[in-house]
Amino acid sequence: MTDRNGDDIYGDKHKEANEPIFSGIPTFLKLPEVERDALDEEDVDIGILGAPLDTATTIRPGTRYGPRAVRAASTVPSPPYEHFNIETGVDPFDTFSVADTGDAAVSPGDTRQSQLNIEDAVYEISEQATPIVIGGDHSISYPDIKGWAEANDYDDIGLIHFDCHADTGDEGLTGFEYDHGAWVKRVFDDDLMAGENYTLIGPRGFWPGPDTYEEMREADMKWYTSMEVGNMDLDDIVADAVQRATDGTDAVWVSFDVDVMEPAYAPGTGEPEPGGLIPREAIYMVREVVKALDPEDFGFDVVEVSPAYDTSDSSSYNGGVTSGLANRLIIEVMGSMALAEKGLESGDPIKPKEPLGPTEEAETPADD
């Protein structure tokens, strides 16, 4: 990967919002669309892929429209082309060339074939670039990880998993071994990942049951419940998850299910559960996790955005609250990848002349 400039991707539009957000083809962040077999030829570093599958979900359907909604939400910020983060001081497009590769082929009614198609698409991207996948229900993470690992000859991967549910069921939630509640078990059973290299962040509620968690404990898996996240130092959780994921592994995948969030902040999902993470917690942990990983041996997916249940989303023309969060997470991931690529803890955010907080003069009590 070499130094880039947003002008290389967007041209004259990079610094100026000279196209209305409702115009043009709504690729992710209005990035160029590149065929998956041409990423190397076009010198692309990160390939965005949609995986519009929801026939492996078990409660509320609708995540087949997730990639479309997240792409729509990605066009809303103004200006839509420049992505300098005022908090981290980094624009990922100053480091990486990024392209939208469209969607993996989905065969309605044939869940397993659709998953195999997703695996092939991720494999093709991963031979040439870092994959970032937009779901789709969480069953896509098994083909995501399998295609990525096989393309790069990874034998042992680490997994950092943000989710309300463990997704470690032997046969999923309703007896289908490839549903969205079984994908972690499929990765584990394929010997792609050891239990000690897996950390789950944010589980709560009532599924899976105690027997499954006993099996997870026996396999040396680790988890931090949502309440524990709220009561602990986030940096400690991040450091532990990163250490576990990188201990003796070839690469790390990060998977983010939006139902890890408190539904008040992310209602557009199939299985909302009260008591989840708040956006600041999620964004901070994703930033810090990815910043500590090698961007050359990394993959990411964000899943379970179901726009039909989302606040402010009536048609996915501009996305909604939940799809907007998913969009933001992808940009944060790319920004942290850029910092990691340069070996930096932070970029160059613009700060006020005076230090934050009260000045010494303001702290001095007035004379009596």
pLDDT single digits (tens) 331-351? 999 999 999 999 999 999 999
The pLDDT value recorded for residue 364 is: 55
Per-residue b/e over 299-332, b at no fewer than 16 CB within 10 Å?
bbbbbbbbbbbbeebeebebbbbbbbbbbbbbbb
Question: How many angstroms separate the CA atoms of 286 and 305, rounded?
Answer: 17
Decide: 337 and 94 in contact? Cβ < 8 Å.
no
- Number of Cβ within 10 Å of residue 143's Cβ equals 27
Over pLDDT 90: what percentage of the chain? 74
Residue 207 has pLDDT above 60, yes or no: yes
The pLDDT value recorded for residue 343 is: 95
What integer is the mean pLDDT of 89-98? 95
- 310 marked as binding residue: no
- 170 marked as binding residue: no
Band of the pLDDT at 314, cuts 50, 70, 90? low
The pLDDT value recorded for residue 119 is: 98
Residue-averaged pLDDT of the chain: 91
Question: How many angstroms separate the CA atoms of 343 and 291, rounded?
Answer: 9
Question: How many angstroms separate the CA atoms of 181 and 173, rounded?
Answer: 6
Work out whether strand 46-51 and strand 198-201 pair parallel, antiparallel, or are unpaired: unpaired
The pLDDT value recorded for residue 80 is: 74
Residue 221 has pLDDT above 90, yes or no: yes
- 167 marked as binding residue: yes
Residue 176 vs residues 205, 280, 343: alpha-carbon distances, Å: 22, 35, 43
| CA torsion, ordered 231, 235, 237, 239, to nearest 10 deg | -160
- 189 marked as binding residue: no
**Model pTM?**
0.93
- 313 marked as binding residue: no
Band of the pLDDT at 316, cuts 50, 70, 90? low
The pLDDT value recorded for residue 363 is: 55
What integer is the mean pLDDT of 125-134? 98
One-letter amino acid at 81 equals: Y
Band of the pLDDT at 208, cuts 50, 70, 90? confident
The pLDDT value recorded for residue 1 is: 54
Q: Which CATH superfamily is domain 26-342 in?
A: Ureohydrolase domain (3.40.800.10)
Band of the pLDDT at 167, cuts 50, 70, 90? confident
At 50, which helix (H) or strand (E)? strand 46-51
- 180 marked as binding residue: no
Decide: 330 and 337 in contact? Cβ < 8 Å.
no
pLDDT single digits (tens) 47-88? 999 999 998 888 888 899 999 999 999 987 767 788 999 999
